[in-house]
Amino acid sequence: MREEKIFIVRIGKCKVLSNSTFNCTCAPGWEGIHCENKIDLCKSNPCQNKALCRTLLLNYSCECLGSDFSGRHCEITSTKLLLLNIVSKSFAYIAILAISTVVMFIIIMDILKYCFGIDPVEEERERMRRERRRKYFKKSRK
């Protein structure tokens, strides 16, 4: 009967198969030819939203930065952040709508004036000119 040779490495047991080969069975959480490498569960980047991944013995833990995210993988967004995103998008939409309205108004006024010869503010402009002239003449008479 042949004697089986087993030797213990850092974290695992190895069995000699022949003079030049052996096979190691590593303990959970270790890998490599001699069980020399600890398995890095953070290598696959399981944490979301720029959270820090910490390798534990047979597991990992995600440390969420700030109070905006929570959950095992920092995948749950806080209500505060959701509301802030909605409000900021709403303000952006309102600003874009206001700017577009002003631009369209200016374009329509120019089209009326230069293409059709219609000047909707001509009377108001003339009234303001008359008032300025009247004030100027009053000052010059004194």
C-alpha R_g of the chain: 39
pLDDT value of residue 22 = 84
In whole angstroms, what is the distance from residue 51 CA to residue 73 CA?
Answer: 8
Asked if 103 contacts 96 with a C-beta cutoff of 8 angstroms, the reply is: no
pLDDT value of residue 60 = 92
pLDDT value of residue 1 = 46
With b meaning 16 or more CB within 10 Å and e meaning fewer, what string describes 18-53? eeeebebebeebbeeeebeeeeebbeeebbbbebeb
Q: What is the pTM assigned to this prediction?
A: 0.49
Give CA separation, 124 vs 41, 127, 129, 134, 138, in Å. Answer: 75, 5, 9, 15, 21
CB atoms within 10 A of CB 69: 20
pLDDT value of residue 121 = 87
Tell me the residue length of the chain.
142
For β-strands 60-63 and 22-26, DSSP reports them as unpaired
Per-residue pLDDT of the chain (142 residues; tens, 9 = 90+): 455 666 666 678 888 888 778 888 888 888 888 888 888 889 989 999 999 999 887 889 999 998 899 999 999 999 999 999 899 999 999 999 999 999 999 999 999 989 999 988 889 999 999 999 998 888 777 6
Residues with Cβ within 8 Å of 69's Cβ and at least 6 positions away in sequence, in order, are 48, 49, 51, 75, 76, 77, 78, 81
pLDDT value of residue 97 = 96
pLDDT value of residue 27 = 86
Asked if 120 contacts 109 with a C-beta cutoff of 8 angstroms, the reply is: yes
